[in-house]
Structure 1
Amino acid sequence: MSFIRRAATVLAATTALTAGLALPALAHVSIQPGSAEQGSFSKVAFRVPNERDDASTTKVEVSLPTDHPLAFVSVKPVPGWKVQVTEGKLPAPVKTEYGDLDEAVTKIVWSGGEIKPGEFQEFEVSLGKLPTDVDQLFFPTKQTYSGGEVVDWSDAPKADGSEAEHPAPLLKLVPAAAGGGHGAPASAAPAAGTPTAAASAAASAAPAAAAETSQADSTARLLGGAGLVVGVIGVVVGVVGLRRRPTA
């Protein structure tokens, strides 16, 4: 019996480890995909999971960077949700190929909808042009629940490389591929010289294939973890069977 208890303990530990490896990819507010080319016009999705069992997410507020502002921002409608795009003055004018930028989109708020427990929602946004002088952009996000709780996803990465308690959604920027590709189709790019105040309607949304690919990756991790647990169970059952086998 002591052997069976030890085997059960090993199985429980393996199950906990597998869950720990598989679930973090599904938690926290994140950007899908997590990277884009510098200097590109790109479509991203803010993926918002509901992390509560007794409340629904009813409001999502995303703040856009003002130190590296984006001249052109447009949003894709989400059924059941209202969206408000806010422009504001920048702390200091920023020089761009479209001229000096002194105001830009600073905040996007989705409200009126509902993300129920055990569900997630993706809010798609077209952004551009992405800066070429930095390798990442942060998008602090506030998630409001039906019970009144507000979770502020605004923590920067820790110096030791470990994940913060409430990490801000992060978009990594990589050098443009050879040939001058910019990720999103050319139709997403507005004409040069278009004023920032009209930027919200300028860029068009690209296909959602990247978000679907990320979702498939998360599912594969879960299935892989489940396979590991099943394999451990098989080993435990086999060893128990051998110990009970009568000797000749």
Structure 2
Amino acid sequence: MKNITRALVGSGATAALLLAGSGIAAAHVTVVAPGAEQGGYSVLTFRVPTESETAGTTALTVELPGLRSARTEPMPGWTATIEKNPEQLATSVTWTADPGVEVGPGQFQQFVLSAGPLPEEEEVAFPATQTYSDGEVVAWDQAATGDEEPEKPAPSLALAASSGDGHASGAPHSTENTDTTAAAESGSSTDSTARWLGGIGLVLGALGAALGLGAVIRGRRA
């Protein structure tokens, strides 16, 4: 009995530590993109919690690794601006809240960006700057050293090896193949309809001929 009690206490303590650790991690600005691949396109979701107990988040700036394509998702109450270098590569994106709008204490917001091609690297960092309504600015730009996580880690994303098709989750694609397929399906449907109507016409013609022949025979008998 004592051994069972000790095991339960130990398990409870371990669970508490894990929950505490996950709570700390959840307070960081993070980025997720399931299925993101090296050299591919993906939808990046930046999750931003408000850590302050007295002020709300009013702006977020994320540095980008020079991307050819970067498109923001419309967000009511927020304005998005993308900065580009002379080569027209996206180097940063900033979301700014409209007057009276903020991510309040105890809340979080998700900022979505469709971007690519992603770097040919196993991991890519997106240093971020979070601005509060009281003027405080928090930089999430620290790189991890070894197994120790820094106090203000930069949002980072692990990239899978390229699958070779040039696309990843949420990747934009050409409509050429879609249009060709639609045209082929439309042509096939039209051809099938024509054959169906032609078959009906033959049946009706044969029926009409049979009725006419029957009328002639009846007329001769009369």
Matches within 5 A, 1:64-75: 64-65=64-65, 69-75=66-72
CA distance, structure 2, for counterparts of residue 185 and residue 13 of structure 1 = 40
**TM-score calculated relative to the size of structure 2:** 0.66
Report the secondary structure of 2:102's partner residue.
Answer: strand
1:107–1:190 distance in 2 versus 1, CA, 3 Å: farther
1:106–1:185 distance in 2 versus 1, CA, 3 Å: closer
Q: 4+ residue runs of structure 1 moved beyond 4 angstroms? A: 9-16
What's 2:83 paired with? Answer: 86
Matches within 5 A, 1:14-93: 16-33=16-33, 36-65=36-65, 69-89=66-86
> If each structure's strand is expressed as a fraction of its own residues, which one has the higher value?
1
Contact 1:56 1:116 in 2 (8 A): yes
Matches within 5 A, 1:1-248: 16-33=16-33, 36-65=36-65, 69-89=66-86, 102-112=87-97, 113-132=101-120, 134-158=121-145, 160-177=146-163, 180=165, 182-184=167-169, 188-189=172-173
Contact 1:30 1:170 in 2 (8 A): yes
Shift of 1:180: 3.1
**TM-score calculated relative to the size of structure 1:** 0.59
CA distance, structure 2, for counterparts of residue 24 and residue 10 of structure 1 = 21
Shift of 1:13: 5.6
Shift of 1:116: 0.7
Contact 1:35 1:171 in 2 (8 A): no
Contact 2:125 2:155 in 1 (8 A): yes
Contact 1:128 1:189 in 2 (8 A): no
Shift of 1:16: 4.9
CA distance, structure 1, for counterparts of residue 64 and residue 156 of structure 2 = 11
May I ask how many residue pairs the two structures share in their alignment? Answer: 165
Shift of 1:129: 1.2
AA at the equivalent of 1:59: A
Shift of 1:15: 7.4
CA distance, structure 1, for counterparts of residue 131 and residue 79 of structure 2 = 15
AA at the equivalent of 1:130: L
AA at the equivalent of 1:115: V
Deviations 1:35-65 (A, max 9, x none): 6111211111111011111110111111112
Shift of 1:21: 3.2
Contact 2:39 2:166 in 1 (8 A): no
* Structure with bigger gyration radius: 2
Contact 1:44 1:124 in 2 (8 A): yes
CA distance, structure 2, for counterparts of residue 147 and residue 190 of structure 1 = 45
CA distance, structure 2, for counterparts of residue 173 and residue 167 of structure 1 = 18
Q: Quick one: percent identity of the two aligned structures? A: 39
AA at the equivalent of 1:111: T
CA distance, structure 1, for counterparts of residue 95 and residue 43 of structure 2 = 17
1:103–1:23 distance in 2 versus 1, CA, 3 Å: same
Indicate the larger mover: 103-112 or 115-124.
103-112
AA at the equivalent of 1:41: Y
